[in-house]
């Protein structure tokens, strides 16, 4: 099994890419979405795990263990979720996953604001904290040598084709 992980801040395009890959190549790819487990409020995360970061670390680990422990009918697995690359690396090792690639899906701040405000109609997410989170993930991806797909001006079809090249 080959695992491709798409991570990135809100509005980067990771879910759109993952859904397009899933729809167009369902015969070759099993897709999983981090948010499908439900995202509690920050207050709930803190109450249960001590911090939002710890919740993210634990849930990332649970996801990688679940993927590793499941027999997949298709040769490729695509996981999409907004999480730290360091948490992904830790969870991948702990789960014993071997054939993995982490890809940061990113875009410039102007594009992110546009997508969050107008396309997703979630203007509350187009805030300075989200822009700092995107910058943090970008820096982390560079430090870890991860591939980065900048979706600011690249059509989704080109992004899907790039992901498919990882799967071949």
Q: Tell me the pLDDT tens digit for each residue of 39-62.
A: 999 999 999 999 999 999 999 999
Which tens digits make up the pLDDT trace of 121-130?
989 888 999 9
Evaluate if pTM is beyond 0.85. yes
Q: Token pair of 3, please?
A: 């695992």
Summary mean pLDDT of the chain: 94
CA 31 to chain centre: 11
Domain containing residue 32? 2-167
Q: How confident is the model at residue 33 (pLDDT cuts 50, 70, 90)?
A: very high
Average pLDDT over residues 71-79: 87
What is the domain-level CATH number for residue 115?
A: 3.40.50.300
The per-residue pLDDT for 120 is 87
Contacts of 73 (CB under 8 A, 6+ apart): 30
Given the DSSP bridges, would you call strands 2-7 and 100-106 parallel, antiparallel or unpaired? parallel
DSSP string across 50-117:
SSHHHHHHHHHHHHHHHHHTS--SSSEEEEE----HHHHHHHHHHHT--SEEEEEEE--HHHHHHIII
Total domains present in the chain? 1
């Amino acid at each position: 099994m080959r695992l491709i992980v798409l991570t990135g801040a809100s509005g980067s395009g990771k879910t759109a890419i993952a859904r397009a890959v899933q729809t167009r190549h369902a015969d070759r790819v099993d897709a999983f979405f981090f948010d499908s487990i439900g995202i509690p409020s920050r207050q709930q995360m803190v109450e249960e795990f001590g911090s939002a970061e710890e919740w993210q670390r634990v849930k990332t680990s649970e996801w990688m263990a679940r993927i590793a422990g499941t027999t997949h009918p298709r040769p490729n697995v695509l996981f999409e979720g907004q999480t730290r690359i360091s948490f992904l690396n830790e969870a991948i090792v702990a789960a014993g996953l071997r054939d993995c690639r982490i890809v940061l899906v990113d875009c410039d701040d102007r594009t992110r604001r546009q997508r969050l405000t107008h396309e997703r109609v979630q203007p509350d997410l187009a805030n300075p904290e989200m822009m700092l989170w995107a910058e943090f993930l970008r820096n982390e991806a560079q430090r870890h040598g991860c591939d980065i797909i900048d979706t600011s001006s690249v059509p989704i079809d080109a992004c899907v084709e790039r992901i498919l090249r990882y799967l071949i």
